[in-house]
Structure 1
Amino acid sequence: MIFLKRTHEMKIRFTREELDALNGKARRAGLSRESYCRHILNGAEVKEALPADVPTLIREVRRVGCNIDQLLVIARAKNWMIAKNLEKALERSRAVEKLIVDTYTTPAD
């Protein structure tokens, strides 16, 4: 990781409302005010930080998908009629996972 020396300082004055808005946006993004401002100035899209349970939700949806996939392998090997239903369930599980990941993460994540 490259560490940049930030040696140049700039003073900005805010109204109370502007400062409160900046503090709120930075807090919701999980960033310091300075880091939030640098992200914005560099053209990054800053989203609110993930709630603590979203990574757990993604992990659980993936776990369920893996379980369905394992059942599907067995069903195909034994030529069970349920294989088509498992294929549909696996497709739905993957669609839900993609929706959650696309909604709560940025491409850089």
Structure 2
Amino acid sequence: MERNRKVTVRLSEAELARLRKLVDESGWSQEAYLRALIEGVIPAPRPPPDYRAMTRELRRIGVNLNQIARRANAGDVIDDAAYRACAEELQAALRKIVNAVTAPRRL
């Protein structure tokens, strides 16, 4: 999409400070942030510093579950339905965390 139109907006010092704060919290450029608002999307704040560590840990747990499942399936040691329920619960929890922290919200 070609963006060759310029719009000038006058803001008070307080409004400009608020806009800059929101843009900084999102990690987006000011232009991208305003375009998102025009489209009815409120950009989510940038994830907290420990977010990446937390998701890495959850993924590590998921990998461990998969390794356990392979071994267990080879010896038929665990209840497959119980393992699958646990793995799905872990995946759902990870999706909820990711969505809560990163997903834009509609106006």
Question: What TM-score comes out, normalization by structure 2 length?
Answer: 0.74
2:68 matched residue in structure 1: 71
Matching of residues 50-89 of structure 1 within 5 Å: 50-80=47-77, 83-84=78-79, 87=83, 89=86
* Aligned residue among 86, 95, 105 for 1:98: 95
- Unaligned 5+ residue runs, structure 2? none
1:13 counterpart (1, 10, 14)? 10
Which structure would you say has the larger RCO, counting Cα contacts within 8 Å and 6 or more residues apart?
2
How far apart are 1:12 and its partner, in Å? 1.4
Root-mean-square deviation over aligned CA pairs: 2.5
What is the total number of aligned residue pairs between the two structures?
102
Aligned: 1:48 with 2:45: yes
More moved, 18-27 vs 32-41: 32-41
Q: Is the 8 A contact 2:26 2:45 kept in 1?
A: yes
Q: Which of residues 6, 26, 47 is equivalent to 2:23?
A: 26
Which residue type is aligned with residue 106 of structure 1?
A
TM-score, normalisation: structure 1? 0.73
